[in-house]
Structure 1
């Protein structure tokens, strides 16, 4: 099965899922209407896409519900401007659902979080329409560029030095 989450910088959220039984994590773009957007255009806020990860997973190993728990634990769900130092629409949060069941699970999780915290969650829940795979240099960035990736995590505020 596949799940699609926009969690800010796709480099930063990719490795999180690798340890939770997800078969494959692919960086890309979702949400906009432009066909085959480029990283530079998405980053420059020209396409209406968000940086998004595509998770390929076996529900016998990890459930959609669990994937959402991991997602919510690794983003700032209350920041409607982007994530950490990455600001702009392309870095805002979204859950792209493939079925009414996924939509219901996502909406339930968001409602529970809002009730728990008393804060308004800034995550868009949208019907999945398309996913465009990012350029090769963005795939598994944390493995290809470990020092630059570590620096990105620290400078972004996602990790303490």
Structure 2
């Protein structure tokens, strides 16, 4: 992380993907027409604040939980993951009703919320724990790969570096990391602006940016 970024966050009273004050959780999305069926999808898209916020309001999504995936350390803590050596990525487990939204639709949306041309992280969050991936089960793999090919064709396959990886165990993060954008809207908005998320997404995806 650059010294310029750290200084900017100090001025803004922010911290990159660090916990906020505990508060009430975000209200669940409206479940009108809920079929009662549940499936899960796991996405690593840089700071899990943003991935969680991007999925929570999507119709058909029941819950989005921040956590970690991809590494070898059991029950990892946030400090362990950002400290390095665990192999884990910050990730979000999305629980959804497949009768209302398909897995393919979720993956299609995910690409448009990240910069899949960055191999080292996302926006101002750089480092091993912030790299991107879709963790797909055996049943999900074909849909995830097809979605990736379609997205890569739009921006250039040689530039598209985010992989589809095999599903692994997901470990939820501490309670202080859940629902950050909902609980701390001013801090999150400042963080997002400072990292120029919207500007970069528009540069990559144009009007298709989510």
Relative to the length of structure 1, the TM-score reads: 0.93
5+ long unaligned stretches in structure 1: none
Provide the residue aligned with 1:38 in structure 2: 77
Aligned length in residues: 159
Greater Rg by CA: 2
5+ long unaligned stretches in structure 2: 1-38, 200-210
Q: CA contact under 8 A between 2:108 and 2:151: conserved in structure 1? A: no
* Aligned equivalents of 1:85, 1:93: Cα separation in 2: 14
Q: CA contact under 8 A between 2:134 and 2:144: conserved in structure 1? A: yes
Is 2:140 the partner of 1:102?
Answer: yes
Helix, strand or coil at the partner of 1:25: strand
User: How much does 1:143 deviate?
Assistant: 1.7
User: How much does 1:159 deviate?
Assistant: 3.5
Aligned-residue CA RMSD (Å)? 1.3
* Aligned equivalents of 2:87, 2:107: Cα separation in 1: 23
Query: Any residues of structure 2 matched to 1:3-18 within 5 Å, and which?
Result: 3-18=41-56
User: How much does 1:152 deviate?
Assistant: 1.2
Relative to the length of structure 2, the TM-score reads: 0.72
